[in-house]
Structures are given as structure tokens and as C-alpha cells.
Structure 1
């Protein structure tokens, strides 16, 4: 049977295919805290229970149902920053992504591709990854206690409570001359946020250049120095140069940082403490496991590394 799917809206298909990567990468959420954290965003769009979500049909592909729960699972697979906008904001693209995934799966199964050796190899890799993650996760969770989380919270509170932070907007531009032009516009009374939406090349352009609150060390030094030197309501009268381009900055507010409550911080604390325990668990297991290491060509024996190598620090975002 020759199957030739037809689509009238190719642009929507591109969006759907792009979103499939998030669906394929979805993994089970293992902690109640993570589920509770996402519950606020999900509750903006769904009022039913998980059981109800498994019964509500949101689409059909060749008669095969797609359930509300499938959309929720796809939403949870999105990066945290994307999820902040809520499920309603992403529903259309998520729905199309799940529809495309279901369609391709159905057509593939018609060709009995589930029996293809390539599929079976991928399934074995996926199974190995899940076994690995569940095993390590179980070992780590056994060690995390409420006392450990509270102790970690006290350390973070001592380090962060009362630190000065500012809220600023910026317009990011490619040239100094364009930045000077924007400063002239502002000085003649034009709205900063509207100018940011129109001219900024930064990721915050759509929200008027708003960077929310940040500490001095959370931005690159030239930007932070300029922002923290301003008084509330002031705008930099000279363009500020950074590795990202030329900035025009407006200070919106200044305050002392207040720590969120322990309960609000609990998911992040579990992640932070869990990472520490994960490293320790892996080190302990390696110490008691017979492992032979060889060179890339397999001919020469290699000794175990003396120290674990930490990943390089991520660059500070320009936002």
C-alpha cells in the first residue's frame, strides 16, 4: 500500500516536526516535588485528575485517539523556562507535534517496523538508559532526608539573603551608533519598553527588554557595573559594550534579595543535593567494581583517572 499523506499547511507541519524532539526526549518525573511544581502550570489549563486526562480525547489520527495526558506528557518534556508560559500557551504546537508523532508511528507500524533490527537496537539502548537512571535514582533518593534538604536550605539562605539585586530593562544592538540613536529617542520621551520591542536583537525584546531581578554576578561585568551604577528610573547615557553587543540599560528597581520559603525551594534543593549524592554514589560503585580500561585502539591498558573531571562552567546569559 502506497501511503502519501497530504498537508495543506506546511508551516504547521514544520512546527510539529520541530517539537517532536521534545516528545522523544520525555522521561518520567521521579519526584512528587517536581510534579507539584508543575501542577501550578498544568492547573491553568486542566481541571481534571490524571485519570480523567487519560480519558479525554483531544484528537484522532486515522481513528486512533490522542489523549489529554499525551499533551501533558509532551508539555512536561519542554525545558523549564519554556514551561513557565503555561500549557495553554504551547497547546497548539504540542497538539500538532503529538499528531505528527502518532501519524508517523501508525504508518511505520503498518510496515511492521517494530520488528526492524534498527528499532530493536534503539529499544535496547532506551531500556538500558531507563534501567540505569532508575537504579541510580533509587540509590540517591534513599539518602536524601528532610534534614539534609533543610541544612542545604540554611546554607543557601546564609549565602543569598539580603544580597542586593536590581531589575533592569535593556535594548541590545549590533552597533554603537544605533545604541546612541536609541538613547536620543529615550531622551526625547519615547517609551523604553516599546523601543526594546522594536529595535532590540536580544531574546528579551518581546517583553520590552525586561531582565527581571538579578545579582551583580549574574550578568557579564560591563553590564552589571553599568546597571548597578544607575538610580531607579535612570537610563545609561552612553552605550555599554559587552561580548553580546551594545546595550542601552534602564534601571527599574533595586531591592535586597529575599529567600523563597523552604517548601518553594524544595524541588531545587532535591536536584542540587541529588547531584551531589549521584556523584558520590557513582564514585563508590566504581571503587568496588572491576573495570578494565584500554586505549582507543584497544591495544594498551589504561589506568583509572585519579580525579573526576568537572564539566566547564556555562557562560553567563546575555538574556
Structure 2
């Protein structure tokens, strides 16, 4: 009840303030009508490139801090406009600043365990920066284009067919459809009426262009065995039912566009760059490895092991009487 009363008082107070302000606003409006038109306002100042968007106990948080923090979010949030995640991300940074300030007040940063972990984090950040810099330096657009052209040369040409099909539940239904088609029935009309594959049926059974590897084996073998304008003589059975197939055209598949392979090639080249650079660093470095207890592993000896002595023959036993 007290909460409702407080809310009601707040509403009434707001209304009272608004009502009290109305005469003053009316007077201002009348005065403005009698005054000559004001000069156009001066151009608004340009916004700062890196404005302060919050302060936490006097410590500023700048827009650039949010841009850095956004890169630590999951991938789907990194690709969003900053404005979309701004309110939640700002609250996250404010909470972070509060915890950091409290940690420093309690001298957590003097703890040896903290210093060790901080050194590890610094190493990770240095590693990531170095790797990204090397990738940016060596995986250039020109090199990507060259790799793309090499990949196309290494890809054997593939054949594609453009086909239609009608899918039904039984072999007898499929045979009846083949008989109708041989008498001159329109394939697309029968597909719309009879096919249980409603998606392609709505398109007259059209499956578009496809490679042999795009379809289940039984269907692909039957389709690619047909010539242009060929029709299956017998129903084709697959796990989905019985198909009647008509091949409308055949062609060599066009090569994949650069944009289709670019991400795959970039990732492939990035792995190669990092592996090569690390192999080079290892080759130039003096490395020593120790056992888990810190002791040196025993050096492998080049001397062949001494042959084992043959076992002594068993002592003869007296024959039993």
C-alpha cells in the first residue's frame, strides 16, 4: 500500500509541476510570436571522435574502450554495430571498472599469483598480436588470388545436369507416371499434381543444376546415365521413395568464384604462415626440455645393449624306475 501511495504521489507531483509550468510556457510562446524571427542557430559542434561515455568514481570510460571490449564478445556480437550492444556493454565496463578499483584498493595486484597470471596473459596478447601481424603481412590479396588460380588448375572439371523429378510412394505409381509421360503428358504438370516432394513439385519438379556428389547414389547414377531430354525407363528407388527423372540439360560445371573460396584459402594460408614462422623460430632457438620434476632426462646412449646371457640348460634328472 505504501508503495502505491508513493507512486501516486510521484504522479500527482509530476502533474502539478507540469500544470504550474503551463502559464509560463504560454507566456513564452506569446512573447516569441511578437519577437522578430531569431537568427538561425549556429552549427552544432562536431562530436568528439573518442568521447567519454561514462565516469566511474571520476575515472573516464571512452568510446574506444567499448570498441576494444566488443572484440572480446562472441562472434555474433562482434559483427553487430556498436550502437546495438552499447547499453549492455557500457554496464559491463562500469561493473568491471568498479571491481578493478576495489581490487587495487585492496592491493590484489601485489599478489604473486596475480603477477604470474598477468605475465601469462601478457604473453598470450603478445602472441596473438604477432600472429595477426604476420598473417596480415604475408596473406595479401595478390597471394590469395594466385592461390585461387592454382586451386582452379588443380580442380578437375565436373559435369552437372539439370533435371526434374516426380517422387511417389510406390513403384506402381511411378510406372503409371512413366507411361503417361511417354504418351505426351507434361512433366511439370504431373510433378505439381502427383509429387510428394512438395518443394520441387511446386516448381514442376525442377531440381536445378547439380553435381553427382550432390545427390544420393541411386538417384545420381540414374540421372547422370541419361542423355539430354532423357527420361528414366523404370522407377528409381531411393530411401525417399520412387522417382521418375527427366534430364533437361548437361554441362561442365562452372568453376567456383573467388568469393566462394576466399575464406577457405585465407584460413589455409594463415595456418601455413604461422606454422612456417614457428618452425623457423624453433630452428634458430636453443631449446632444452626437462622431466616433470625438473630433472634432466637421461641422455640416450649410442652403445648397443649387451646381449642377454642364454639361460642355463636344466639339470638332467634321473630316469624313474
Fold equivalence (TM over 0.5): no
Higher RCO (CA-CA < 8 Å; seq separation 6+): 1
For this structure pair, what is the TM-score category when the shorter chain's length is used for normalisation? 0.3 to 0.5
| Larger Rg, first or second structure (1 or 2) | 2
TM-score under structure 2 length normalisation: 0.41
TM-score under structure 1 length normalisation: 0.41
